[in-house]
Amino acid sequence: MEDGIDTIVLDEELAYIDVVPLRWTGSAKPADPDLVVAQSEHNLRLLQALAALDDRGPAEKADENSPHSADLMRLEFKVNLLLELVGQILLQSHPRPVAVPMRFNAHGAIWRMQEGQVRAGEYGQLELWLRPALVEPLRVYGRVVSVGVDRRVKLRFEPVGKPVEDLIEKLTFQRHRRQVAGTRERR
φ, ψ of residue 70 in degrees (nearest 5): -65, -40
Kind of pairing, strands 123-128 and 16-27?
antiparallel
In order of start, what are the domains of the chain with their CATH numbers? 9-55+96-186 (2.40.10.220)
Burial of 23 (0-12, 13-18, 19+ CB in 10 A): middle
3-state secondary structure of 121: coil
What is the model's pLDDT at position 8? 66
- Who contacts 172 (Cβ-Cβ below 8 Å, separation ≥6)? 14, 15, 16, 105
Question: Which of 12-21, 34-43, 68-77, 89-98 tops mean pLDDT?
Answer: 34-43
What's the 3-state SS for 9-70? Answer: EECCEECEEEEEEEEEEEECCCCCHHHHHHHHHHHHHHHHHHHHHHCCCCCCCCCCCCCCHH
| pLDDT band with cut points at 50, 70 and 90 for residue 116 | confident
**Across 11-28, average pLDDT:** 90
In this prediction, residue 9 has a pLDDT band, given cuts at 50, 70 and 90, of low
Q: Which of 4-8, 18-22, 118-122 has the lowest mean pLDDT?
A: 4-8
96: region left, alpha or beta (phi > 0 left; psi from -120 to 50 alpha): beta
Average pLDDT of the residues of the chain = 83
Asked if the model's pLDDT at residue 87 lies above 60, the reply is yes
As a whole number, mean pLDDT of residues 87-106 equals 82
Kindly tell me if the per-residue pLDDT of 26 is higher than 90.
Answer: yes
pLDDT at 63: 56
Task: State pLDDT tens for residues 118-176.
Answer: 999 999 999 999 988 788 999 999 999 999 999 999 999 999 999 999 999 999 888 87
pTM: 0.77
Please report which helix (H) or strand (E) contains residue 101, including its range: strand 99-104
